[in-house]
Homo-oligomer: A and B are copies of this chain.
Amino acid sequence: MTQPRFDVLAIGNAIVDVIADSTDAFLAEQGLDKGSMRLIDQAEAVRLYGAMGPGREVSGGSAGNTAAGLAALGAKAAFVGQVADDELGAIYRHDITAAGVDFLVDPRSDVGATARSLILVTPDAQRTMNTFLGAAQMLDARDIDPAAIADAAILYLEGYLWDPDVPRAAMVKAIDAARAAGRKVAFTLSDTFCVDRHRDGFWKLLDDGRIDILFANEAEALAMAGTDDIEAAKARLAAAVPLLVVTKSERGASAIAGSERADVPAEPIERLVDTTGAGDLFAAGFLAGQARGLGLEASLKLGAIAAAEVIQHYGARPEKDLKALAGDLLA
């Protein structure tokens, strides 16, 4: 196999985040589940935007954040996600390209508006996401180039992309292409509600041996395994995938690969501002470590470093020099 052009090719919803400070009272008033992601239509996006506070617009999207984090760590990353031919689409394209990621999809004028997620950040730094998928749900299987997939050591997919029908087909095609080329497939469960919506589909992916690396936080692992015993959940998932990574917020993260297991604590932080992107950047750090051939523990540590940076500011993409923060790990 020739040396692939990309360390990671990520596919996900191309979303601009609209981040506003909020209160618990506002979430209650709007009937929102703190910490979750819900899908909304355009009318609800307009209504909620009108009710929420002033926003900061920053490019986001789970797998896009991971791709930006990978590039910040010196890995070669590509991203596939659909934007419209509008101002937010131009912002999305600029930001991910300027982050050093190869953006492989052209904007389209026949897909409605570029996706946006209205993110309400409460004083406890939790984020509650209200996502209007717009153009992102029009990512077509035709936009998946098997040659590009074959040219990436790892294909990385977000569970969120399983929600809309059209990109689900694109993901399946991408997995086929990666398997045919002998590349690895990494997948994140994304969100407990997402797991609830697609548990059977996700299990089929695992049972069919189509996933090599699975990312989940503890709540998602429990939801997926249908148990409230975290050790049982991890054991069940670890038996279904060659490499399982479970993040545990302020308690760090674990990786299980067959009989091998590694654990790291969370990195210390000065101040918690906005947890948006914590899981995305953890995945970026871990995959950057894997791309460099590092072991489980060093890869987890890179994940913890990248996650710690992103939760200390608004927005889900790195602002500080992640390579410098990684220090000897990437030396």
Contact = CB atoms under 8 A, between A and B. Distances in A.
A44 interface: no
A94 interface: yes
A116 to B, nearest CB: 10
Interface range, A side? 20 to 34
Given A86-B87, A88-B87, A94 B54 contact: yes
A317 B50 CA distance: 19
A58 B59 contact: no
A300 to B, nearest CB: 26
Contacts of A94: 49-50, 54-55
Interface in A44-67: 49-50, 52-59
Given A87-B86, A87-B87, A88-B87, A59 B54 contact: yes
A21 interface: yes
A140 interface: no
Nearest to A20: B98
Interface string A311-327: 00011010100000000
A224 interface: no
A95 interface: yes
Contact of A317 (B49, B54, B57, B88): B54
A84 to B, nearest CB: 10
A91 interface: yes
Contact of A98 (B54, B56, B57, B95): B54
Counting chain B CB atoms within 10 Å of each CB, the highest count among A52, A68, A94 belongs to A94
Contacts of A32: none
A98 B53 CA distance: 5
Interface in A63-105: 68, 86-88, 91, 94-96, 98-99
A95 B18 CA distance: 11
A247 to B, nearest CB: 24
Contacts of A59: 54
Given A49-B94, A87-B88, A57 B54 contact: no
Contact of A95 (B55, B91, B315, B319): B55
Given A21-B319, A319-B21, A91 B55 contact: yes
Contacts of A88: 87
Contacts of A68: 54
27 contacts: A20-B98, A21-B319, A49-B94, A50-B94, A52-B98, A53-B98, A53-B99, A54-B59, A54-B68, A54-B94, A54-B95, A54-B96, A54-B98, A55-B91, A55-B94, A55-B95, A56-B56, A56-B57, A56-B58, A56-B314, A57-B57, A57-B58, A57-B91, A86-B87, A87-B87, A87-B88, A314-B314
